[in-house]
Amino acid sequence: MKLIEQITKAVSASLEDKGYDLVQIKLINGGKRLIVGIVIERLDNKYISIDDCTIASRLISAILDVEDFIKGAYTLEVSSPGENRPLLKVKDFERFYGKAVKMELFNPINGTRKIVGTLGKLINNSETVIVNFFNGDNEVKLDVPLNNIKKASIKRDF
């Protein structure tokens, strides 16, 4: 099992018990130390505070110390997803229905790899998402297979 999968399995339930959802785990080779970046958000949809990150960090650190997956020294960084929250799981696409999104595709659809539009519903047993966007003056609906999405995130307008 890959390290990210081991960490996910070990910490997800405990984070949920404390009111947090595990959004993403990033492993970064920081030279002498591995950096374990864990992105969380609150289950009640409120903003993540520094106190939330501290609580989650202590919990995760204790679990990682007991499980001992990571050989050698590491640095744990716990943060919020920020303004451009990534969409990584099927439940993310369901949750953010109707929101503005940015997507980058592996393979172009209708000649485009980058889409900025409105997230529609999931179809085909949650394997495809509909995205509405404007191509010039025309609104276009694209059926985007989830496995063709290289990156997707919420697009915040200020």
* pLDDT tens per residue, range 103-119: 999 999 988 899 999 99
149 & 97 share domain: yes
Burial 112-145 (b: 16+ CB within 10 A, else e): eeebebbbbebeeeeebbbbebeeeeeeeebebe
For residue 156, pLDDT over 80 is answered with: no
12 & 52 share domain: yes
70 & 111 share domain: no
75 & 113 share domain: no
113 & 145 share domain: yes
Question: What is the count of structural domains for the chain?
Answer: 2
Q: HSE, CB side, 13 Å, CA atoms: give it for residue 116.
A: 5
Dihedrals phi, psi of 97, to nearest 5 degrees? -50, 135
Q: Is residue 38 part of a domain?
A: yes
Interval 61-103: pLDDT, tens: 999 999 998 888 899 999 999 888 999 999 999 989 999 999 9
Q: Is residue 84 part of a domain?
A: no
Note down the domain range covering 29.
Answer: 3-79
Mean pLDDT, rounded, for 132-155: 89
- Whole-number pLDDT of residue 77: 97
Q: Quote the tokens at residue 55.
A: 């609580």
